[in-house]
Structure 1
């Protein structure tokens, strides 16, 4: 059985809510029923068949041929199967996913992997703000799973992160890992602003350095830790080569303005 393919007919004229297009919600529907699903966000009441050509039948293997920054909420709540997008996606890609895998060959908008609980999200381009973070009013961000961004990411990545792993190969916007509760964030490029501000626990590895740290972080000096090498190996096996190899790094403890049990690793200079 071939996978289910959604081929984009052209650039959408409005933002689209594609949250219904996951295996859990498509299972048992005929092709005709799928094409009648409402995905519009305006009074035009767009149906899926107005925007996509549909082929294939295996809902556990979904592919979008053609992308757009207006394709929102792809993989929302995904718990099984796989989704692949050939191109860009809009905001909330992979939000609240609990399992399965999502691959985006382009870039993603804000809140990718927001409140994620499990599974794997790979973005081969760049990501917007609050990667793996919470929606407004929520008390926790990502609480499980793994995210890999091969480009850069916007501000407040891993905000209120509770568990899981995020790897960003490029630069990271302002204040990454703000209010971090636990988990691991690895940044290969430069971390802008004050990363780790108000983090309680967790590990922040800034392989490309940081603009500055808050004064409430304590310099613990150079550290040659076996755990860094083990982390580099384990995460590399899961997500591919990571932007650090476990070599000695300078460790900072904090943020002592709150619980202060987090750690930030920076390159030795």
Structure 2
């Protein structure tokens, strides 16, 4: 059975809310009614049939052939199945997903993986600011699952992260892991200013020493090597990295002591 495929006809003239197009939400919709689902976020109110050619019937696997930075909220609340986007997406891809797999074969906008609680989100290109982070007024960001950015991420990656593993493979902007509550943020390729700013718990794993830390972090000497070894094995076994990240004798900073935090920043010496 062929995947349910939405082939983009042309560049969308307005921002789209694609949150209705997930396996669990479409399961309760008659297939003849899918084309009538409203996606447009302006007065025009564009529908599925206005924007896409629809083919296939396997609701467990959804494919978007063609992407756009105007594709907002792809896979929001996903609880089962697979979504693949052949192209770019806009804001909040994978927000609040609980299970399943989302693969984006291009770039993603801000708040990708915002408040996700489970599943796996993989972005082959770059991601915007606030990767995994909460929206205004929310108290916690990423709360479980695995998120991988094969390119670069913007500022505030892992903001208020609470659980799960987030990995950025080509560097990220300032305040990576800022206000972390728990969880693990992995960054290779370098980080910007003040990683771990105001973090309370959790772990930030880096492939090199950070260039500018908040003065309320302290160097801790040799850390417990068992956690570093376990994470190295996991990252390689899961295909996130090709070789160990931290090695046998990583360095460690603890903090953020400005909020009496007990978090850690581990880095390869």
* TM-score of the alignment, normalized to the shorter chain, above 0.5: yes
2:259 corresponds to: 258
Aligned partners of 1:39, 1:50: CA distance in 2, in Å? 10
Other structure's SS at 1:233 match: helix
Once the two structures are superposed, residues 90-126 of structure 1 have per-residue CA deviations (whole angstroms, 9 ceiling, x without a partner) of: 0000000000000001000000000110000000000
CA distance in structure 1 between the aligned counterparts of 2:242 and 2:261, rounded to whole angstroms: 26
Q: Is the 8 A contact 1:169 1:243 kept in 2?
A: no
2:119 equivalent to 1:119: yes
The answer to whether residue 82 in structure 2 is matched with residue 65 in structure 1 is: no
| Mapping 1:1-269, distance limit 5 Å | 1-223=1-223, 225-241=225-241, 244-247=244-247, 248-268=249-269
1:229 to partner: Cα distance: 1.6
Which range moved further: 211-220 or 28-37? 28-37
Secondary structure, counterpart of 2:44 in structure 1: coil
Cα offset, 1:260, TM superposition? 1.9
Structure 2: segments with no counterpart, 5+ residues: none
Contact 1:180 1:196 in 2 (8 A): yes
With 99-108 and 246-255 compared, the bigger mean Cα shift is at 246-255
Residue 53 and residue 88 in structure 1: after superposition, are their counterparts in 2 closer, same or farther (change >3 A)? same
TM-score by length of 2: 0.96
Q: List alignment gaps of at least 5 residues for structure 1.
A: none
RMSD: 1.3
Mean Cα displacement is larger for which, 20-29 or 122-131? Answer: 20-29
Match of 2:259, SS state, is coil
Structure 1 residues 208 and 13: alpha-carbon distance in aligned structure 2, compared to 1, 3 A threshold: farther
2:266 match: secondary structure = strand
TM-score by length of 1: 0.96
TM-superposition CA deviations, 1:226-254 (whole Å, max 9, x none) = 22121111233334326743412110111
- In structure 2, C-alpha distance between the alignment counterparts of 1:211 and 1:15, rounded to whole Å: 38
Contact persistence 2:254–2:264 (CA under 8 A): yes
Mean Cα deviation higher: 73-82 or 21-30: 21-30
Question: 2:172·2:187 contact (CA, 8 Å) conserved in 1?
Answer: yes
Distance in 2, Cα, partners of 1:70 & 1:243: 36
Whether contact under 8 Å (2:236, 2:243) holds in the other structure is no
In 1, Cα distance between the equivalents of 2:199 and 2:66? Answer: 39
Q: Answer yes or no: is the 8 Å Cα contact 2:128–2:155 preserved in 1.
A: yes
Aligned length: 268
